Amino acid sequence: MIPVPLLVCVMAAWCAVYLADTLLRSSATHRISYESWLASRGLMLSPFHLRWQTTMFNRLFAYCARINPRALYLWFNSGLVFGIVAMLGSVVLLIKTLQQTLAQMTTDNPRIGGQQALQVVVPGVNLPTSQLAYFFIALLLSGVIHELGHAVAALREQVRVNGFGMFVFVVYPGAFVDLFTTHLNLISPTQQLRIFCAGVWHNFVLCVAALAFLFLLPLFLFPMYSTGGGALIIDVIQGSAADGPRGLSVGDIVTGLEDCPVRGVEDWSSCLSHLSHTPQTGYCVPAASLQPSWAHGRAFKRLDGTMDCCSNNSLTDLCFSYMKPLGKNSREREYACMPVRKMVTGTQVCRTDDDCAAHSHATSVCVTPSLENQTRFIRVTHPPNTHMLFVGYPPHLQYAVSLTNFVPRFGFLHLDLPVFLETFCKYVVSLSGALAVVNSVPCFALDGQWMLNALLEATLVTVVTDRQKRELIGFFLLLAGSALLAANVALGLWMVTAR
Please report the pLDDT score of residue 294 as a whole number: 46
**Residue 298 clears pLDDT 70, i.e. is over it:** no
Assign 3-class secondary structure to 267-306.
HHHHHHHHHHCCCCCEEEEEHHHCCCHHHCCCCEECCCCC
Q: Cis peptide before 384, with omega less than 30 degrees from 0?
A: yes
> How many degrees, rounded to 5, is the angle at CA 191 between CA 63 and CA 156?
10
| Contacts with 205 (C-beta within 8 Å, 6 or more apart), sequence order | none
Mean pLDDT confidence for 231-255 = 92
| 442 phi, psi to nearest 5 deg | -70, 85
Mean pLDDT confidence for 51-56 = 96
> The whole model's pTM is what?
0.86
Please report the pLDDT score of residue 299 as a whole number: 73
Q: Check: CB of residue 226 under 8 Å from CB of residue 406.
A: yes
Side chain identity at 109, as an amino acid letter?
N
Please report the pLDDT score of residue 106 as a whole number: 80
Please, is 187 exposed, middle or buried when counting C-beta atoms within 10 Å of its C-beta (0-12, 13-18, 19+)? Answer: middle
Distance CA 90, CA 117 (A): 11
| Contacts with 276 (C-beta within 8 Å, 6 or more apart), sequence order | 374, 376, 393, 394, 395
| Contacts with 326 (C-beta within 8 Å, 6 or more apart), sequence order | 332
Distance CA 396, CA 400 (A): 6
Distance CA 1, CA 126 (A): 10
**Residue 300 clears pLDDT 80, i.e. is over it:** no
Q: Check: CB of residue 307 under 8 Å from CB of residue 380.
A: no
- Per the prediction, the chain carries an average pLDDT of 89
> How many degrees, rounded to 5, is the angle at CA 38 between CA 18 and CA 30?
75
Please state which of the ranges 121-125, 329-333, 349-353, 385-389 shows the lowest mean pLDDT: 329-333
Please report the pLDDT score of residue 329 as a whole number: 61
Supply the DSSP string of 127-185, one letter for each residue. Answer: B-GGGHHHHHHHHHHHHHHHHHHHHHHHHHTT--EEEEEEEEETTEEEEEEEE-HHHHH
Mean pLDDT confidence for 416-445 = 96
Question: What digits encode the pLDDT tens for the residues 140-149?
Answer: 999 999 999 9
Mean pLDDT confidence for 9-35 = 93
Task: Label the pairing between strands 282-286 and 300-301.
Answer: unpaired
Question: What digits encode the pLDDT tens for the residues 100-125?
Answer: 888 888 876 555 445 666 788 877 77
| Contacts with 264 (C-beta within 8 Å, 6 or more apart), sequence order | 227, 228, 230, 231, 405
- pLDDT above 70 covers a percentage of the chain that reads 92
**Residue 327 clears pLDDT 60, i.e. is over it:** no
Q: Check: CB of residue 279 under 8 Å from CB of residue 379.
A: no
Q: Tell me which of 81 and 108 has the higher pLDDT.
A: 81
Mean pLDDT confidence for 55-67 = 95
Please report the pLDDT score of residue 293 as a whole number: 47
Q: Burial letters for 378-398: b for 16+ Cβ neighbours within 10 Å, e otherwise?
A: bbbbbeeeebbbbebebeebb
Distance CA 118, CA 98 (A): 10
Q: Check: CB of residue 386 under 8 Å from CB of residue 345.
A: yes
Distance CA 191, CA 187 (A): 6
Mean pLDDT confidence for 357-375 = 81
Give the catalytic positions in this structure.
147
Please report the pLDDT score of residue 310 as a whole number: 80
Please report the pLDDT score of residue 407 as a whole number: 95
Mean pLDDT confidence for 190-204 = 98
Please report the pLDDT score of residue 309 as a whole number: 82
Question: What digits encode the pLDDT tens for the residues 398-412?
Answer: 999 999 999 999 989
> How many degrees, rounded to 5, is the angle at CA 96 between CA 475 and CA 443?
20
The pLDDT-based confidence of 330 (bands split at 50, 70, 90) is: low
